[in-house]
Every structure is written in structure tokens, then in C-alpha cells.
Amino acid sequence: MSSIRLDASKPYYTTTGLVVGYALCSSLLAVINKYAITKFNYPGLLTALQYLISALGVWVLGKLGFLHHDPFTIETAKKFLPAAFVFYLAIFTNTNLLRHANVDTFIVFRSLTPLLVAIADTAFRRQPCPSKLTFLSLVVILSGAVGYVATDSAFTLTAYSWAFAYLVTITTEMVYIKHMVTNLGLNTWGFVFYNNLLSLMMSPLFWFLTGEHVEVFDALSANAGNWFEPETFIAVSLSCLFGLLISFFGFAARKAISATAFTVTGVVNKFLTVVINVMIWDKHASPFGLVCLLFTIAGGVLYQQSVTGPSITPAQREPAASKLSDSENVDDVVEEDQGKSISGKLAFV
């Protein structure tokens, strides 16, 4: 009897399942990373461990036959390197933002991205301009998020600097990674493997540029880093596990929906992040801020209604995916496919 093999190139999962999985991982990861960086205050080393576990996890599961990922080749790595660099910068700035600011600050800057991504989609990826209702929903999301964090006065110049850097890199990453996903022809686990392996290779450079290696060596010498305390180990382990899960759900969701819809999903699911944040941290917004958060969620619902259209089945999307790897005019195929089916993809958000 032949063994059962899961092929990541086949649609075993629905768009709704992918979006829900991404929403849960994205919601919990911010709090888990904040908890991990509190117990293990070395953001560069923490993210390197995340990349290591993700890349190693995909490789081991591939060897065991539980999944299939594209083999590593130098030619493909060269094409993917710019995207991996942008991804690394986004994670790097995100982790340092959480190191210097509370989760509320992270939420508001994360919430700013849908509007910027929509503009970038239109300007650089030749997407249709958002409708008036869609644009209004994005403005509602932005206004609610700004009002939410405006009630929190715990801001510093360092935190704002990292927040601005995060805003720029995450917006670039949302649009550029979407372009890479639709043009390289790798399967979902292939993207996860390449992204994390290349990011792991870049980690030592940033580790030394930021001087974090000095902090790590000093902690080791003084034996004051609390490296092996159970609570620290659990925090880092959870961070690495969710890093692997969000890698899969993130790339899979990017294939299923547009860049703007993907970003809005990440913003709306921050509701769970805020609930957990209020329960475990002592610094958070006032009741008025929570009302503003409801406006952010309402903006997400309004956005969903503004882009809802006829659904697209996986079987209908599959021929377009095969065209991406065979056609010489890839950009034309992508533009035509997205122009015809973009509203259907967004309907599942």
C-alpha cells in the first residue's frame, strides 16, 4: 500500500480556512512575541531562532513525507533574495518595535498599512483604484486605530522611530511579497522554506550591525541571561512555533486573496490581540480607546462588504496558477486573472 503524502501544491484547504488560520496566528503572535521579548530580551537572536525552527521544520517534515516543498537551488534563491530581505526587515523592525513599545503602538501602525497598501497596489501593481466605499472603509479603519492609541501616552522617540521603520517595511513587504508569490511559481511550503532559510542566513549580519552580539556574550559571561529558565524556554518555544505557523498561513493566504485584503485581515484580527493585551499587560488604552477599536473592526466589516462578489473555486484558480509558471508574459496573465477574479477572492476575508 502506498503511503499517503500531502502535496502543498494541491488545494487541500479552503480560502476561508487559510484566512482564519492566518488571523489566529497573527492575533496571538504579537502577544506571544511581546511576552518572549520580555523574557528573552535579544530580538535578533529570537528572530534567528524563529527562522531556524521554521526552515528546519519544513525540511524535516518534507523528509518524513508529510509535506512537499520545492528543492533549494541557487538560481531560485537569487530571485527570491530581495523578497527575503524585505521580509527580514519587516520582522526585524516589528520585533524591535515590540521591544521598545507596548502592543497598542504596534496595533495602530499595523492598522495604517491597508490604506498604504491599497495606494501601492494601484500605483505599482496596476490594480484598479478602490471604490468610494472601499476607500471609506480603509479611512474608518485608520481613524479608529488612531483614536484607539491616542488615549495611550506611553510613547517615546525610540518607539516611534521603530514604528515608522516598521510601517515603511511592512507596506513594502505586503506588496512586494505578493508580486513574488504570483510570479516565482513555488508552492506554499517552498516559499516558507526559502523565506526562512534566506532570512536565517542574513541574521548574523544584523546581529553584529546592531551590536546585539555584545549583549549576548556579556550575558553568557555573567550567566545573567536566564537562558534556560522554564518560563523563558516556553516563551521562546511558543514564539518559534507560531513563527512557523504564520509563515505557512501567511504565504497561503497571500496566494488566495489580494495584498490589501490580506493586510485588512491582519488589522481586523487584532481584536483578539487587544483582548489578550488588556488581560495580561498593565498599560493599555482607556474605554474610549476600546470604542475606537470597534470602529476599526467595523471598518474591516465595511471593507468586506464593499469588495464582496461571486466566489472563485480552487478549480477555477488552478489553471491561472499553471499559466504563471509556463507563460512568458507573466505580468499580463497576473493582471488579467486579478482583474477578473479579485472581488471573488476578497469575498472570503
pLDDT in tens, 286-313: 778 778 877 877 777 677 667 555 444 4
Cell of 169: 517595511
Cell of 201: 542566513
Distance separating alpha carbons of residues 219 and 41, to the nearest angstrom: 11
Segment 187-214 mean pLDDT: 88
> What H or E segment, with its residue span, contains residue 282?
none
Q: For residue range 60-75, what is the model confidence (pLDDT) as tens digits?
A: 988 988 788 888 899 8
In a domain, 165, yes or no: yes
Contacts of 41 (CB under 8 A, 6+ apart): 99
The identity of residue 156, as a single letter, is T
In a domain, 39, yes or no: no
Q: Which residue in 154, 155, 148, 142 sits closest to 290, CA to CA?
A: 148
Tell me phi and psi for residue 186, to 5 degrees. -80, 155
In a domain, 58, yes or no: no
Predicted pLDDT of residue 6 = 43
Question: Which burial class, exposed, middle or buried, applies to 221 when counting CB atoms under 10 A from its CB (0-12, 13-18, 19+)?
Answer: exposed
Predicted pLDDT of residue 154 = 64
In a domain, 94, yes or no: yes
Distances (CA, A) of 259 to 156, 224, 328: 31, 43, 23
Distances (CA, A) of 272 to 5, 11, 210, 254: 34, 28, 32, 21
Predicted pLDDT of residue 267 = 63
Domain count for the chain, please give it: 1
Contacts of 297 (CB under 8 A, 6+ apart): 144, 268, 271
How many whole angstroms from its chain centre is CA 332? 27
Distance separating alpha carbons of residues 261 and 257, to the nearest angstrom: 6
In a domain, 77, yes or no: yes
How many whole angstroms from its chain centre is CA 176? 13
Where is pLDDT greater, at 336 or 222? 222
In a domain, 9, yes or no: no
- The range of the structural domain enclosing residue 150 comes to 66-202+247-307
Q: How sure is the predictor about 201, in pLDDT bands with cuts at 50, 70 and 90?
A: very high
Predicted pLDDT of residue 165 = 92
Distance separating alpha carbons of residues 149 and 145, to the nearest angstrom: 6
In a domain, 141, yes or no: yes
Global confidence as pTM: 0.68
Q: For residue range 310-330, what is the model confidence (pLDDT) as tens digits?
A: 444 443 443 333 333 333 333
Highest average pLDDT, of 48-52, 66-70, 167-171, 340-344, comes from: 48-52
Cell of 299: 471598518
Predicted pLDDT of residue 322 = 35
Contacts of 99 (CB under 8 A, 6+ apart): 37, 41, 43, 162
Predicted pLDDT of residue 323 = 34
Name the CA dihedral angle for 149, 154, 159, 163, rounded to a multiple of 10 degrees: 0
Question: Which burial class, exposed, middle or buried, applies to 168 when counting CB atoms under 10 A from its CB (0-12, 13-18, 19+)?
Answer: middle
Ramachandran category for residue 126: left, alpha or beta (phi over 0 → left; psi -120 to 50 → alpha) = left
